[in-house]
């Protein structure tokens, strides 16, 4: 009983520390937090002795659980201001969840190292976008219609789920490359986060159902204790990061986030050797 209590306290402390750092960095970089939270969770949860075979799965799934309420809150705030592209969201009601469920199926089949490798590859691509992206880059004057639009929705849902993110970085890139203003892209991304996170939570629960050696309070791969502890602490810490961010130019923040992701990629890649 003493061991269980000590282990639980250590796990809870690690989750709170993860949420605090992720919340601050999310506010600092203006990113939803999943791309930040997952590597932090992987590092801390590994350090407290959780089975390495499930660490990445639990980190990704728990991050997706944290995204649900934050995406809902953000979406309704943006929608009230009329900033959301509802036509795009409605056209993705089916394609994005299809990508999510495909990713959940893949997550049930692959090892933790494979999932870490997928995260590393996508994070590297995102880092390159942050480091070298230019606002002048455009692929078209407006968002393409179907089937291209539907395919992109599937891909955003698929890769975002495997990374444990709400799709903001990918959707922002997609919309701005096709001529949409960044404010509309950010607002619409909150709705994309809903289309990803809600089905992803159910998908990751199913993917991890019956898997042994999961951390306490896990339902499938989603750790309910993590979700409950991380949400309030990230909400509390994010304004501090945002306050500091206002003192730095936008370009420096983009470069900073890109460098952060490259460090994560290097660390993950080294651990796979």
Across the range 14-40, mean pLDDT stands at 73
CB neighbourhood size of 251 (10 A) = 9
Domains held by the chain: number: 1
d(CA 143, CA 18) in angstroms, rounded, equals: 37
Average confidence score pLDDT of the chain:
82
Could you write out the DSSP letters of every residue in the chain? -HHHHHHHHHHHHHHHHHHHHHHHHHHHHTS-SHHHHHHHHHHHHHHTT--HHHHHHHHHHHHHHHHHHHHHHHHHHHHHTT-S-HHHHHHTTTHHHHHHHHHHHHHHHS-HHHHHHHHHHHHHHHHHHHHH--TT--S-SS---TTHHHHHHHHHHHHHHHHT--SHHHHHHHHHHTT--HHHHHHHHHHHHHHHHHHHHHHHHHHTTT-SSPPTTEETTEEHHHHHHHHHHHHHHHHHHHHHHTTS-HHHHHHHHHHHHHHHHHHHHHHT-
Q: Name the residue with higher pLDDT: 27 or 231.
A: 231
Tell me what pLDDT residue 29 has: 61
How would residue 2 be classed by pLDDT, with cut points 50, 70 and 90?
very low
Rounded to the nearest angstrom, the gap between the alpha carbon of residue 136 and the centroid of all alpha carbons in its chain is: 26
Tell me whether residue 82 is exposed, middle or buried, using C-beta atoms within 10 angstroms of its C-beta: 0 to 12, 13 to 18, 19 or more.
exposed
d(CA 104, CA 81) in angstroms, rounded, equals: 33
- What is the torsional sign of CA 28, 32, 156, 91? negative
Question: Which residue, among 53, 44, 21, has the nearest Cα to 241 in the 3D structure?
Answer: 21
CB burial of 28-37 (b: ≥16 within 10 Å; e: otherwise) equals bbbbbbbbbb
pTM, rounded to two decimals: 0.83
Predicted confidence (pLDDT) per residue in 56-73, tens digit: 899 899 989 988 887 887
Tokens representing 9? Answer: 């306290």
Residue showing tokens 């975002």: 160
d(CA 273, CA 271) in angstroms, rounded, equals: 6
How would residue 94 be classed by pLDDT, with cut points 50, 70 and 90?
very high
Predicted confidence (pLDDT) per residue in 3-18, tens digit: 455 667 777 787 788 7
Nearest 5 degrees, angle CA 39-CA 45-CA 49?
140
Tokens representing 221? Answer: 């791969």
Residue showing tokens 């997550």: 107
Tell me what pLDDT residue 3 has: 44
d(CA 70, CA 181) in angstroms, rounded, equals: 22
Which residues form the domain of 53? Answer: 2-271
Predicted confidence (pLDDT) per residue in 120-174, tens digit: 888 888 788 778 876 666 777 788 888 999 999 999 999 989 888 777 778 888 8
């Amino acid at each position: 009983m003493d061991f269980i209590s000590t282990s639980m306290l250590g796990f809870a402390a690690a989750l709170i520390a993860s949420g605090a750092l992720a919340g601050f960095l999310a506010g600092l970089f203006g990113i939803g937090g999943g791309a930040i939270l997952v590597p932090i969770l992987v590092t801390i949860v590994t350090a407290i002795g959780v089975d390495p075979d499930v660490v990445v799965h639990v980190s990704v799934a728990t991050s997706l659980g944290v995204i649900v309420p934050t995406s809902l809150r953000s979406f309704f705030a943006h929608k009230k201001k009329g900033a959301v592209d509802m036509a795009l969201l409605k056209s993705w009601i089916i394609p994005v969840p299809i990508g999510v469920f495909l990713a959940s199926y893949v997550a049930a089949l692959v090892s933790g190292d494979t999932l870490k490798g997928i995260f590393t590859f996508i994070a590297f691509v995102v880092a390159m976008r942050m480091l070298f992206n230019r606002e002048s880059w455009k692929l078209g004057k407006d968002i393409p219609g179907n089937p291209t639009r539907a395919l992109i929705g599937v891909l955003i849902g698929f890769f975002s789920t495997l990374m444990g993110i709400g799709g903001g970085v990918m959707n922002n890139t997609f919309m701005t490359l096709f001529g949409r203003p960044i404010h509309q892209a950010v607002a619409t991304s909150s709705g994309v986060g809903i289309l990803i996170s809600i089905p992803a939570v159910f998908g990751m629960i199913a993917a991890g159902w019956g898997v042994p050696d999961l951390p306490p309070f896990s339902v499938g791969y989603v750790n309910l204790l993590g979700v409950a502890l991380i949400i309030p602490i990230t909400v509390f810490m994010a304004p501090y990061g945002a306050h500091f961010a206002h003192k730095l130019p936008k370009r420096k923040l983009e470069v900073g986030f890109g460098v952060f992701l490259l460090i994560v990629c290097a660390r993950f890649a080294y651990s796979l050797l």
